[in-house]
Structure 1
Amino acid sequence: MSERVNGTRPGLDAVVLAGGEGRRMGGVDKPGLTVGGSTLLERVAAVVRSHSPDAGVTVVGPPRESPRARYVREDPPGSGPVPALRAGLPHVERAWFALLAADLPHLTAGHLAALADALRDREDEDAGVVLVDDGGREQWLTGIWRTAAVRKALADYRGRSLYGLLGPLSPRLVPLTDHHAAFDVDTPDDLARARRDLDGDSGNDG
């Protein structure tokens, strides 16, 4: 029987990708940037634990004092999301895990709940669920996946694209009800916008 949270949603672990070089941000430590009183990485980890309090959170990136998590590195560091997932996935213990970017300032526990709810009653059929934006584009770093399915796909995959890895799993697509949910911080303008929106707000309540 699948692990569940509150009797209705599958419990999950999380792999958070935080090892990028932030080139469009001038090479700064992007996950360590502060928005709304917390670093971007702290916000994402808090969202996971708000949704699933006993989740195991694995951060693929440089070790930090906060948030509390298991820290691992891809080989070589900065080599991209597929090597990062290879580094993080062995530490997932639950049947389902959230795969998330570290720079999602507007992500809430409510967004994870919407993804988890899309799995309800069809957990035995689906390999995963992923948010799609207003243009119908899959947000591969905002989804929940069946651990065994991704492990099997990763074992046979030699490419470098998350789309190439995860697309063939035919995940359920969950349209955004909040266009901010998959907004990520790639540029200084993105950071300024997130700070305008969120400074003074915890952003993790769902």
Structure 2
Amino acid sequence: MAGGRSARLGGRPKAGLRQGGRTLVELTLDAVREAAGVVVVGPAELAVPAGVLRAREDPPFSGPAAGIAAGLRALGALPEAPWTLVLACDMPGVARAVPLLLEGARSVPGTDGHISVPPDGRRQPLAALYRTEALRAAYAGQDPADRSVFSFVRHLGLHDVTVAEDATADVDTWDDVRRHHLT
């Protein structure tokens, strides 16, 4: 997920912010390099590597739920995988959540997914691993524009996966940019 207006950053795209010489979208793509297929949902001008699918929420800037729907449509061009990992690129430490989510899928079978939960207890639906079939069913026949992700996934049987605070700490403000040492 790499869309959004970045309004609190004066419109500067979060995906292009850098940490250690790498953009946030590059760091997020590194976290999923073993995936069978990857789609970046965001503006067309955002650079992505060859082989990465592109999508845009419809209408543009209609929120992360619409972004997930667009990503699911784009992934429809590939053979269906049993799991869909959803990551927001404005979480510089999200790569630390990925192995824990994958371990959740191995160790706690029979769920609709695994969702990151940092120490504050707030479930993070944009750092989660969903059973593809369950995620598609949750979105089926519904307009996701300007709705919350939780309005789609709240009825899924999700297993909470404890992650470090910095795994889901996101970048919304210039204070966040400084705290994460971004440029």
2:41 corresponds to 1:60? yes
Look up the equivalent residue of 2:74 and give its one-letter code.
Answer: H
Q: Which residue of 1 aligns with 2:56?
A: 73
SS in 2 for 1:180: helix
Look up the equivalent residue of 2:16 and give its one-letter code.
Answer: G
2:124 corresponds to 1:139? yes
Q: Deviations over 1:92-131 (max 9, x none)?
A: 33110110101111122x42111111121443x1100001
Q: Which residue of 2 aligns with 1:166?
A: 153
Look up the equivalent residue of 1:81 and give its one-letter code.
Answer: P
Q: Deviations over 1:32-63 (max 9, x none)?
A: 111111111110001111xx2x5311011113
Equivalenced residues, count:
175
8 Å contact 2:97–2:116 — kept in the other structure? no
CA drift of 1:158 comes to 4.5
8 Å contact 1:41–1:67 — kept in the other structure? no
Q: Equivalents in 2 of 1:55, 1:22: separation in Å?
A: 30
8 Å contact 2:64–2:148 — kept in the other structure? yes
Look up the equivalent residue of 2:60 and give its one-letter code.
Answer: P
- Unaligned 5+ segments in structure 1 are 1-16, 200-206
Q: TM-score, normalised by structure 2?
A: 0.88
Q: Percent identity?
A: 38
Which residue of the other structure, out of 114, 139, 143, is the alignment partner of 1:154? 139
Q: Which residue of 2 aligns with 1:42?
A: 26
2:78 corresponds to 1:91? no
Q: Equivalents in 2 of 1:135, 1:157: separation in Å?
A: 31
SS in 2 for 1:31: helix
Q: TM-score, normalised by structure 1?
A: 0.79
CA drift of 1:29 comes to 1.3
Look up the equivalent residue of 2:56 and give its one-letter code.
Answer: R
- Unaligned 5+ segments in structure 2 are none
CA drift of 1:192 comes to 1.1
